[in-house]
Amino acid sequence: MLQTNTRNFYPTLASAAKIAEANIVADPDWSYVCESHNDGATWSVAIYDEDGIKVGYIG
């Protein structure tokens, strides 16, 4: 997982979900949530720690 203050944008929910799922398998203690931008035109994957606090994005 690469955590940054910037974020990668993905063109579809399916492509963002694939990245999130791979990170869930690699690091199940954290949460990876797909976030919609521009009414679903682009997507990013946010990272949350075990306390539910957003710590960044996959970038």
pLDDT band at 3 (very low <50, low <70, confident <90, very high): low
Cβ neighbourhood burial of 1 (10 Å; 0-12, 13-18, 19+): middle
Note the pLDDT tens digit of each residue in 13-43: 999 999 999 999 998 899 999 999 988 899 9
Residue 44 half-sphere exposure toward CB, CA atoms < 13 A: 15
Cβ neighbourhood burial of 20 (10 Å; 0-12, 13-18, 19+): buried
pLDDT of residue 54: 94
